[in-house]
Structure 1
Amino acid sequence: MKRWMVYIVPLALGFAACNNAGTQNNSDTTLPSDTGVTDDMARDANRDILPSDSLRDDAKNLVKAAEDGLFEVRLSTDAQGKANAASVKTLAKHMQTAHEKVNKELVELANQKSIILPTAISDGQSKDIGNIMEKSGKDFDKAFVDKLESAHKDAIDLFEKGADKSEDPDIKAFFAKHLPELRSHLDMVKKEKDKLK
């Protein structure tokens, strides 16, 4: 089973990337199409095909960044139809668009490095989104913004680690490039959180 995944998933991701290159689907929460690959499956496949421990560590960070990116797009997309405050809707739309762009770049980099990425969020992340979506009004806005804040703090930690410790220069550059934007996102989220108090 594992061997088939090693050969099929890169092809599936490659074809999906080509097919989606010219289209924008706001409800798409995948990298770039949901083939059902979880982060655990991606890590196992990368362990089988990547030659060195250092590249495997770089791959683990990319896998984590991909799963977190999927989560942010899905959460932000869902929030746009549920948010109470207009400014929260605007924030959600900004986050969706920005993270879709980063996700696309991440897929291209992973394909160049023969790293397999997850195409689906974890069950835990799906449950987190479901719990937030059960809320309404100002309670929803607060829960959404709180989750964005914690997600961006985690992302900044991951990207700082990647920018500092990645062995592959292209992967290192990817993490370093996106750190300022993530910090800017966190500032935006904190300002919105202050408005909701």
Structure 2
Amino acid sequence: MKKSSLFSKAILGAAVVTMSFGMGSCKNEPKAEDPKEVAEDANEQNLDTEATDSLEDDSQYLVDAAEVDLKEIELGKLAETKSTNADIKALAKMMIDAHTKASAATKDLAAKKGITLPAALTDKGEDARKDLNDKTGADFDKAYAKAMVDGHEKTIKEIEKASEKAKDPDVRTWAAQMLPELRKHLEHSKMAKDKVDAVK
């Protein structure tokens, strides 16, 4: 009896140890891969054929644009709820509406070309959202307006490059059609930034 009792205790002890290891490993689960990296990996695999080889480079333009759209929509939603400034709220609404529309156009082209796009806000986008969310009042308004100016200046450069250098004519056309709206966003962002920066 003693032997079987000791054996049972040993089994029970092993089970407890195993459970505690299992529970501990839940806390140390690897971080989910960045949605942008997932998309880039998929494109590298799927577009690595003679028929789609020229699209592999062009796919990056669409992936980057999709990343920007997701970020601008999320930051816009945040600004709509957190800001009390009429100019910032108007800018945020413009960004949500325009980038939702732009996102749909990018998704349509990506589907047509077999290009994978980020399915959710990227790590960089999450970081930008958290940083902005930490701010309040006039500091928030100034940070949001600055982010819109800086972000659109960078995006315009990338989309200009796509409109001139993309190998696929559809990608060049898509980029050229995006530019007027992006330039309009930049002008509105600059105007809003000038107004909020003047507030002491």
Q: Which residue of 2 aligns with 1:128?
A: 128
CA contact 1:83–1:89 (8 Å) conserved in 2: yes
Distance 1:123 1:178 in 2: 24
TM-score, with length taken from structure 1: 0.79
Q: Which residue of 2 aligns with 1:42?
A: 39
Distance 1:54 1:122 in 2: 25
Larger radius of gyration: 2
CA contact 1:66–1:117 (8 Å) conserved in 2: yes
> Are residue 66 (structure 1) and residue 62 (structure 2) matched?
no
1:54 deviates by 2.6
Alignment map for 1:3-42 (pairs within 5 Å): 38-42=35-39
- Give 1:95's aligned amino acid: M
Q: Which residue of 2 aligns with 1:93?
A: 93
**Structure 1 residue runs of 4+, over 4 Å off?**
none
SS of 1:116's equivalent? coil
CA contact 2:58–2:166 (8 Å) conserved in 1: yes
Distance 2:73 2:41 in 1: 25
Residue deviations 1:115-170 (CA, integer Å, cap 9, x gap): 01011122222111111111111110000011111110111011001101011111
Alignment map for 1:111-190 (pairs within 5 Å): 111-190=111-190
Identical-residue share of aligned pairs (%): 40
1:88 deviates by 0.7
1:37 deviates by 7.0
CA contact 1:39–1:118 (8 Å) conserved in 2: yes
SS of 2:114's equivalent? coil
Distance 1:193 1:177 in 2: 26
- Give 1:46's aligned amino acid: N
CA contact 1:83–1:140 (8 Å) conserved in 2: yes
CA contact 2:62–2:117 (8 Å) conserved in 1: yes
CA contact 1:163–1:175 (8 Å) conserved in 2: yes
CA contact 1:67–1:119 (8 Å) conserved in 2: no
Aligned residues: 162
1:109 deviates by 0.6
1:68 deviates by 1.1
1:176 deviates by 0.5
CA contact 2:34–2:123 (8 Å) conserved in 1: no
SS of 1:81's equivalent? helix
Distance 1:171 1:37 in 2: 24
Distance 2:133 2:84 in 1: 12
CA RMSD of aligned residues (A): 1.3
- Give 1:172's aligned amino acid: R
Q: Which residue of 2 aligns with 1:10?
A: none
Distance 2:99 2:124 in 1: 20
Distance 1:87 1:38 in 2: 32
- Give 2:161's aligned amino acid: K
Unaligned runs of 5+ in 1: 1-35
